[in-house]
Each structure stands twice: as C-alpha cells, then as structure tokens.
Amino acid sequence: MNSWRKFYMETNRRRECLFWGSLILLLLLAIVFSVCFGTVTIDPRELFAVLLGSETDSIYARILLYTRLPRCIGSIFAGAALAVAGAVIQSVLANPLAAPHVIGVNSAAGFITALCCALFPHAWSLLPFMAFCGAFFGVMVVTLISERADASKLSLVLAGVAVSNIFSAGIDVVITLVPDALTGYTDFKIGGFSGITMERMLPALILIVVGIAAAVMLSKELDILALGSETAQSLGLPVKHVRILFLLIVAALSGAAISFAGLLGFVGLIVPHIMRRFVGEESKPLILSSAFGGAILVSFCDFLARTLFSPYEISVGIVMSFIGGPFFLWLIFRLRRQQL
C-alpha cells in the first residue's frame, strides 16, 4: 500500500514538474519569437548582446530596445494580468462565463482612460489609477445588477453586455469630442501594443506585479470563498469584505493592463478554463498557471498579429477575437449541456 502511494506521489510530482517546465519553456519561446521575428529578423545573439549592454548603437539594437522589447514586455504583463483577473472573478462570482471583458470591466476602465487622456493628455502616470477606478466601478455595477435581477449565470453576462455597451458609447463620445485623446484609437478599442513605451507602461507594470502577488497571497481565502457564501461565513471568513478585496484586485489588474493594451478581450475567459484542466480548482496553482498562460497566449497572438500579413500589421485584439469567439460559444453550449 505504501509503495503504491509513493509511486502515485512521485508520478504526480513528475507531472507537475513537466507541466511547470512546459509553461516556462513556452514562455521563453514566446519571448524569442516576439523579439526576434517580424518584418526584420534579428539573430538571437543580437538580443543577448543588447541585454548584456555590449551592443546599443546598431539598427537591430534600436529595433529591440525601442520597439520589440517594450512590446514583448507589454504583451506578457497584459496577458498575465487579464488571465489572473479572469481566474479570480470566476471564483468570486462562481460563474465560469465571467471575465473582465464579458462583465463590462474592460469597457468601464477604457471609458475612464479615454476621459483621463482627454482632460489630462500628458499625465500618463495617472492612467493606471484612473483605469483601476473605472474597472472597479464597472465590476461593482454589474455585480449589483446581476444580484438584483437573479442569481443565474446568464443574468451576469447580459448585465455585462449592457454595461459594456454603455461605456463603449461613452468612449465614442469622448473620441468624437476630443479626437486626439487616444493615439491609435483603433488599437485601443480592439486591443494592441503598437507604439507603447517602457515609460508609459512602468506604473501599470508595478500595479500588475502587486495585484498578482496579492492574489497569490490571498489564494487560501479565495478557496474558502469559492465554497459558497454560507459555507465561507460559517468558517469565519468575512465574506463581504473579502469579496470586495478580490474585486479590487480584479479592477487593479484589468485597469492596469487596459491603460496600455487597450480593450483586449477573451484572455481572462480562455486561459483559466484551460489551466483548470491541468491544475484543478485550487486557487494558488490556478492563479500562477493563469499568469504564465496569459503571458504565453497574448505574446504568441501579438507575434501572429505582426507577422501573418507582414509587412502589414493587424491588432492583436483581432487575433484574440478569432480564438476567443468560438471558445465562448463552445463554453456556453457546454454549460447548457451540463444543466440539462
């Protein structure tokens, strides 16, 4: 009996090592593809030379430092933030259809971001904070509407669609009145990384790191909350306060990503569902694996957006929509079959 238990534990340990090793390898491949390939192909040795500081004046070094590396870093952090936000919001709301773009969080953050750009065009450091405020307001509005309507999963999605359309209309109004409020408006509305810089992203990157760290540290509370409000309350968890805290984390992650990546959708829906098939429902490994998975997915999608129609470039949000749309439909039909 002990030998079988030991064999089972060793097998699980090997599977875990293989899984996490595969995620790290895929992320490294995504970074290499994102940085080295495109309209101009760059030798990986040139990348290492730039990172080590031995090469900074060549044309390849400039492409890496001012275009490819900021774009790669932005796609990694935005993907990780949106995927973790999706994993957390699905557990908090006990709804597999919940995701930042589905329940109106993205559009609310986008509206406040557009408004901030129109009123304070040079205050880039304010964008993550303003986007966070918009995201938190959006998630609270949708949560309250769905609770007042009924507790079904569909009501949350419908409320999110309505709120998303309202805030999207607000973005259009801001852009109509102040056309220069958002440079690259199409990329912002769909989601993209064209023209981003490290200076613009830095405040948002710090907020993303803090948000993911907070989600990991509070993973035990998220596991308890996922058991249901009554069970969590009986175990001594202050449900309302903890739920608001997690909604704040979701808003911080979503708002920070949207402040530089635009209204990028489907990441927070696709990645947590895929990762649950490998790590199960436990929050800590789900959050960590979702961070890796989101970074990998968005990086590869950004690579495809740059190279599929080279020398022309499409927004990464278009590629995500082609992947996420069918996935969302499949998820709806799967949930419907489970309910029958």
Q: Read off the tokens for 26.
A: 């895929």
Residue 187 domain flag: yes
pLDDT class of 85 with cuts at 50, 70, 90:
very high
Provide the domain count of the chain. Answer: 1
CA–CA dist 93, 244 (Å, integer): 11
Average pLDDT over residues 200-214: 92
pLDDT, mean over the chain:
83
Average pLDDT over residues 102-130: 82
The predicted structure's pLDDT at residue 3: 66
pLDDT class of 314 with cuts at 50, 70, 90:
confident
Residue 190 domain flag: yes
Residue 13 domain flag: no
CATH classification of the domain holding 140: 1.10.3470.10
pLDDT class of 126 with cuts at 50, 70, 90:
confident
Residue 327 domain flag: yes
For residue 244, which of 263, 221, 267 has the smallest C-alpha distance? 221
Q: Read off the tokens for 72.
A: 């790669």
CA–CA dist 121, 80 (Å, integer): 27
Average pLDDT over residues 205-220: 94
Decide if pLDDT at 324 tops 90.
Answer: no
pLDDT digits (tens, 9 = 90+) for 142-180: 777 766 655 556 667 777 778 888 888 888 888 888 877
Q: Read off the tokens for 32.
A: 């290499």
The boundaries of the domain holding residue 131 are: 69-339
CA atoms within 13 A on the CB side of 58: 12
pLDDT class of 298 with cuts at 50, 70, 90:
very high
pLDDT digits (tens, 9 = 90+) for 179-196: 777 666 667 777 888 878
Decide if pLDDT at 285 tops 90.
Answer: yes
Average pLDDT over residues 229-235: 83
Residue that has been written with the tokens 């079988």 in this structure: 4
Average pLDDT over residues 294-319: 88
The predicted structure's pLDDT at residue 151: 53
Percent of residues, the chain, with pLDDT higher than 70: 90
Q: Could you tell me which residues come within 8 angstroms of residue 223 by beta carbon, excluding any fewer than 6 positions away?
A: 282, 283
Decide if pLDDT at 47 tops 80.
Answer: no
Decide if pLDDT at 55 tops 80.
Answer: no
Phi/psi for 42 (5° steps) reads -120, 130
pLDDT class of 290 with cuts at 50, 70, 90:
very high
Decide if pLDDT at 247 tops 80.
Answer: yes
CA–CA dist 33, 76 (Å, integer): 13
For residue 182, which of 113, 102, 105, 276 has the smallest C-alpha distance? 113
Residue 256 domain flag: yes
Decide if pLDDT at 130 tops 90.
Answer: no
Q: Read off the tokens for 102.
A: 């589905």
Residue 55 domain flag: no
The predicted structure's pLDDT at residue 297: 93
Decide if pLDDT at 340 tops 60.
Answer: no
pLDDT class of 86 with cuts at 50, 70, 90:
very high
Average pLDDT over residues 226-246: 85
The predicted structure's pLDDT at residue 275: 92
Residue 20 domain flag: no
The predicted structure's pLDDT at residue 294: 94
Residue 5 domain flag: no
